Structure 1
Amino acid sequence: HEPERLAAAEVAGYCVDAVVQRLTGAVTVDVSDASQPFLDVATRTYDETALELCGLSAHRRLLPDPAPPGTLHRLLPDAARRLGLPAGLPVSAGPFDIPACAFGSGVAEPGEGNLIIGTTLAAQVLDSEPRPAMAEDPAGMVLATPYENRYLRVMPAMIGTAGLDWLLKLLDVKIEALDALLVQSPPGAAGVTALPFLSTSGERAPFVDPRARGRFDGLSPLAGRADLVRALCEAVAYSARHCMETLGVTGTVTACGGGARSGEWARVFAGVLGGTLEVCDDAVGIRGAAHVAWRSLGTPVDPGAWRARLRTVTAERGLIDHYAEGYAAYRHALDLAREGWSTQ
């Protein structure tokens, strides 16, 4: 809506690109950041048709070409002086947060997946080909990564810890009490169930519907705060499984983010996903950026050592079976709800 600013612009980029330019003088963008919405991820070049459809062909000049795999920049003398570092030091820009969390948590082989249980939930699966998710609904995205022949299929949902924060505030409960509340309510939340779509924007993965809204079912005077909290946590886990199934996960699933630090909630996720969950408690995004930098320097990390610090959360058979039934009921309730949303 401000064409004069667009006409005067020199380049379009992200915050990290501005930092890289100040430190190294390079005008560039990481291929993961460039992947949406205009990049042909297979060729790592911009899709002129996509630009034309958006009416932006005249502004193609603003898009810097993505950095090739293994790119390292060099620290400028002035920036080096200000930082107290040697001039010419290698600088790696790194991928944005979603792929950084994948590689930081140890995702290495096609079919392996990662869940970011944060303010919003992101599910992603690594692939050797730039294939979109096989979904009935057009949703999600495919990202090129800083590595050759490695792509990420991603479902960036709107659900996550923000919905849980809303419920805890409504119930006047601190987040520190989450694990205790989950222990107080049995698997299945004493019959209370939920749909976790609490964003005013609706949902964008694994389906897109701005009319999607959350709800609780099975309430009675016997339901307590713990049941409501557990029902919502289970519903978020069910949605995560829905995303992972749509993405075609076939290998180990890692998890990171604030929600994964809850031992009881991680156990719910493990049960819903059908087995074990490898949790990374470190600053996983920073680990991912370092992972890319070391590979670019020619000293890639050892995959086994990299995953050695992960915490394994295992669900027992009975819990897995219970949540298999709960997931089927969740999908049925979701289908009925979507029919209702379609008439609004």
Structure 2
Amino acid sequence: MSYLGIDLGTSGLRALLVGDDGQPVGAAESHYHARNPHPGWSEQDPADWITAFRDAVGQLRDRHPEFSDLRGIAVAGHMHGATVLGADDQVLRPCILWNDTRSHVQAASLDAQPEFRALTGNIVFPGFTAPKLDWMAAQEPELRAKVAHVLLPAAYLNLWLTGDHVGDLSDASGTSWLDTAARDWSDDLLGRTGLDRTEMPRLVEGSEPAGQLRAELAAEWGLRNPVTVAGGAGDNAAAACGIGAMTEGAGFVSLGTSGVLLMARDGYRPAPETALHSFCHAVPDTWYQMGVMLSATDCLNWLARITGATPADLTAGLGDLRAPGPVRFLPYLSGERTPHNDPRIRGSFTGLALATDRDDMTRAVLEGVAFGLRDSLEALRATGARPDSLMAIGGGARSRYWLQVIATALDVTLDLPAGGEFGAALGAARLAMVASGAGDVAQVMTPPQITDRVAPDPALRGAFDDAYQGFRAAYPAILTAQR
């Protein structure tokens, strides 16, 4: 038997096929693009996701005979996107994505209503789903009047797979419509944006069955047996499943385009004033909290682009870890979520001098991202989280120097998983296994082997603490200057 995990990303879809033992059999990718018709807008045609899904399945089917014994599928998707359908389930407009900020006015208006934070445990961010529907009501009233169903991207693929409007609780947590403690839609919050639960997908836990694969697709793909489609997950919850972060204190630092610091929690401990996200996990009776910074490796990529180097070139000559210097970088190139909830703030360098060279600026960028992640860790600590170690994943984790900076800035040991598959696609495949009866959560969602550990440098801890306090003090000054 085999199981399929789908990671529906912003720039492409990754499909991972695993066997009975949960080990990868094969993987395939298919890519697409977001559209940015106006500044601050980010949209995607859901038809591109289906085209990519079909392409990835075709690759797996042609390369791996194990695909014909498929028994389960789960989709992990980029969160918050508003995929709006008419009564005939046809898409009415391109999906408004998570990184779209056009609805910042509507988000502020909803967030000013205390019921939203009280029930969801979260700030209403501009990227969340609810303000997007209010934006449509103000700017596209004719289209808004035709909306019969609102689906997140992963739930839209669930509809295509099963014929049912069904989604999971971890993904629904990022809509501003979920009563996160009760793990159910809030009729009150839906009503405040002109909706009711008949327009929303039926909710299941991510590790529970959502339905069966449509017979037409099973025949098209040459499958031999009935296939269970799991509830699936939001991308970060699925990544947590992929690395086995399922119990209190387990978590990871993800150095991707954005930066994420996530920890599983054994209870619901909302702290919206910190701009942490407090979401349902993809498995029952579990939640997770995470801090998000909008630019992580994007900051290093930006510096590489303007200096005509590659990110690897920039970090190659940095040598041993040293104390932060006078050059400081605020990593707010795309605004910031945790802890500032400020989509308009922008980054800056300070402390530049005639003697400043490229290495100084590179160190400042790496340190600025690390201090942004520490902002998230401090917010998590305020809720009672006490991590001794965190898994380090994402493209930025390939830089040993950067990992040393982060470990020392956070005063937390970073664990490096063995090479191979982990992350959202593997987490989705594991959800498919549990939903299909191949094992329970404890049996299936185990952590990977750790091949290396990066510990904080005790000799530099004080210097990094001092630099972090300077980083924190710089935000009000730059905010005043940019306003």
**How would you bin the TM-score normalised by the shorter chain?**
0.7 to 0.9
Q: Cα–Cα, structure 1 residues 175 and 147, in superposed 2: closer, same or farther, change >3 Å?
A: same
When residues 325 and 189 of structure 1 are mapped into structure 2, their CA distance, relative to the original with a 3 A threshold, is closer
Deviation at 1:274, TM superposition (A): 0.8
Distance 2:290 2:171 in 1: 13
> Identity over the aligned pairs, expressed in percent?
28
Q: Deviations over 1:261-280 (max 9, x none)?
A: 22221121111111311234
Instruction: Work out whether 1:194 is the aligned partner of 2:333.
Output: no
Of residues 181, 205, 214 in structure 1, which corresponds to 2:338? 205
Query: In the alignment, is the contact (CA less than 8 A) between 2:390 and 2:412 conserved in 1?
Result: no
Match status 1:316 vs 2:457: yes
Deviations 1:59-89 (CA, angstroms, capped at 9, x unpaired): 5421012113532232232211111222412
Q: How does 1:1-344 map to 2 (within 5 A)?
A: 1-35=139-173, 36-54=175-193, 56-57=194-195, 59-68=196-205, 70-72=207-209, 73-133=211-271, 137=273, 139-183=275-319, 187-199=322-334, 202-248=335-381, 249-251=385-387, 252-280=389-417, 282-296=421-435, 297=437, 298-300=439-441, 302=443, 306-309=447-450, 311-338=452-479, 340=480, 344=483
Matches of 2:142 and 2:422 in 1, distance apart?
A: 41
Bigger mean CA deviation after superposition, 232-241 or 256-265: 256-265
Q: Which has the higher contact order (CA 8 A, sep 6+)?
A: 1
Residues 188 and 303 of structure 1, relative CA distance in 2, 3 Å threshold: farther
**Alignment RMSD (CA, Å):** 2.5
1:189 and 1:321 map into 2 onto residues whose CA distance is 11
Residue 18 (structure 1) shift: 2.6
Separation in 1 of the partners of 2:299 and 2:156?
Answer: 33
Separation in 1, partners of 2:215, 2:189: 39
5+ long unaligned stretches in structure 1: none
Relative to structure 1, the CA distance from residue 304 to residue 316 in structure 2 (aligned partners, 3 Å threshold; closer, same or farther) is: farther
TM-score by length of 1: 0.87
Name the SS of the counterpart of 1:288 in structure 2.
Answer: helix
C-alpha deviation, 1:303, in angstroms: 8.1
State the alpha-carbon separation in 1 of the partners of residues 216 and 362 from structure 2.
53
User: How many residues get paired?
Assistant: 335
Question: Which structure 2 residue ranges, 5 or more long, are not aligned?
Answer: 1-138
1:105 and 1:255 in contact (8 A); partners too: no
**Runs of 4 or more consecutive aligned structure 1 residues displaced over 6 Å after TM superposition:** none
SS at structure 2 position matched to 1:126:
strand
Once residues 318 and 424 of structure 2 are traced to their aligned partners in structure 1, the CA distance between those partners, rounded to angstroms, is: 28
1:29 alignment partner AA:
G
> Do 2:170 and 2:280's aligned partners in 1 also have CA atoms closer than 8 Å?
yes
C-alpha distance in 2, partners of 1:10/1:310?
50
Q: Secondary structure at the match of 2:355?
A: coil
* Post-superposition offset of 1:157: 1.9
Judge conservation of contact 1:182–1:265 (CA < 8 Å) in 2.
Answer: no
Aligned 8 A contact 1:126 1:150 in 2 = yes
Give TM-score scaled by structure 2 length: 0.64
Alpha-carbon distance, 1:329 to partner: 2.4
1:15 positional shift: 2.9
| Other structure's SS at 1:85 match | coil
